[in-house]
Structure 1
């Protein structure tokens, strides 16, 4: 199926400085399918596959698809062998899947240049943020990502991709995809939605306060007191005069680690105390 190009963007050099020095990129690489039994690892610059590496190999094996398999970068050696410069993990995963050949990008460099290329490939990778990964999974219609997106929409929250602006924050905007996902797994959909609404639908919308620690503290409080979680509008009214920003600043003042369990416990304590007073008063009025 041919897709429309209307929503795509082209590659541009706008905003980048022009190179200031001459550069020789070396011989152009070639693409070739190579038998895995012809590929070897040079221990002088390649690390062994350790515990985390094995987990990565297993992850690749379980979700193996050619659309996710980048060509293995190799350099030719004597005797028809090729040294793997980048791709040891995915080659191992392919072998575990019973695959005999992998697509390789052959670079014609000596051992020193191989090591240099290995360091460059593994050291200069642009890190994918959790927010970018979430949006990528969302575009791929991943079920877990879709479930979290539905929770965010119901809670009035937007997961932003870029940097969070502390100068002019907008209500509901956050990078706390990790906290929302953790709370969804731990407490369930309804508790997380209510916790998010406690921030976005009270006061002035509490811009800048959809923070990981606040979300987790709210979920903890609501989970421990389901009667509050299920109080609906009464819960939101009770938090209308709760100043999340003031509470946050007073708790983190002088602290180096704002994501610590101690901070979360203090936030939960403040919220629990406020709600116990407010909802108790409201129940008395209703009676």
Structure 2
């Protein structure tokens, strides 16, 4: 039938499973939200629990790819030893991550960082490309389950994806290198709008002097630069990355007689 996926795979097995034999794979799962677990415990009832989606690991244990908060609540409930589950068998760990993405992609609860790490585990082409671009610059996405900030870490997945699509891998890598070099102690250096703005300048100005750009940015507080750009945006319109590009061009060109850089086209 047209418009209907007929490759539905094997039907899951329905069973009650001991909570002690179920674990969470932290390589792609989102961090546990204690408030959500507490809410489930407070209002616990089997009629609202549903079934967990589990992967049979073949050794008597299971991993949960949908329902980890319900699992945590059931594990802590003094009257529960087993939970209802739909059990599937997958060949590879990346298939498990793909299943997690498939279940959660259209839910507002999944963040872009969670989507990124699940995508890496699943071998998603877009996420692997983002990883390669950041790795080339010595940068990384915030690891799952941690909020530890660092100048070379970012959570701006969507912005980086847009920048790569518009300006290419090399320009985005150069932008990340520049931002970390300019604000080496600023945990917010890898801001998504700044990455897009500077990648645009690298793509459109082959003679851009990276050392000069780093020096000019280093002499400007990032938050003040962002505020200045926002003021420009309110006066002239456009989006935040465009306004930042304009502000950075102005800083870079100040005092130059030759070799001025330009904003250039977005694509």
TM-score range, shorter-chain basis? 0.5 to 0.7
Instruction: Give the match for residue 133 of structure 1.
Output: 115
CA distance in 2, matches of 1:69, 1:209: 33
Q: Distance in 2 between matches of 1:209 and 1:186?
A: 21
Structure-2 change in CA distance of 1:261 and 1:205 (3 Å): farther
What stretches of structure 1 of length at least 5 have no aligned partner? 30-65, 71-89, 91-120
Describe the shift of the 1:144–1:125 C-alpha distance in structure 2 as closer, same or farther (beyond 3 A).
Answer: closer
Contact 2:151-2:183 within 8 A present in 1 as well: no
Matches within 5 A, 1:215-226: 215-226=195-206
* Residues 1:249 and 2:238 are matched in the alignment: no
Q: CA–CA distance in 2 between the matches of 1:282 and 1:216?
A: 22
Question: Which has the greater radius of gyration?
Answer: 1
Matched with 2:152 is 172
* 1:270-281 equivalences in 2 (<5 Å): 270-277=247-254
Partner of residue 139, structure 2: 157
Give deviations 1:179-213, integer Å, cap 9, x for gaps: 11111122111111111112111143432132222
Partner-residue secondary structure (3-state), 1:220: helix
Confirm or deny: 8 A CA contact 2:117 2:144 kept in the other structure. no
CA distance in 2, matches of 1:206, 1:224: 27
Q: TM-score, normalised by structure 2?
A: 0.53
Q: Deviations over 1:24-58 (max 9, x none)?
A: 539x99xxxxxxxxxxxxxxxxxxxxxxxxxxxxx
CA contact (8 A) 1:220 1:268 kept: yes
More relative contact order in 1 or in 2 (CA 8 Å, sep 6+)?
A: 2
State the superposition RMSD in angstroms. Answer: 4.7
The runs of 5 or more residues in structure 2 that have no matched partner are: 1-21, 27-31, 52-94, 261-267
Alignment of 1:74-113 (within 5 A): none
Contact 2:182 2:215 in 1 (8 A): yes
Where 1:25 maps in the other structure, the secondary structure is: helix
Q: Give 1:263 shift.
A: 2.9
**SS of equivalent residue, structure 2 residue 226:** helix
Please, what TM-score do these two structures have when normalized by structure 1?
Answer: 0.49
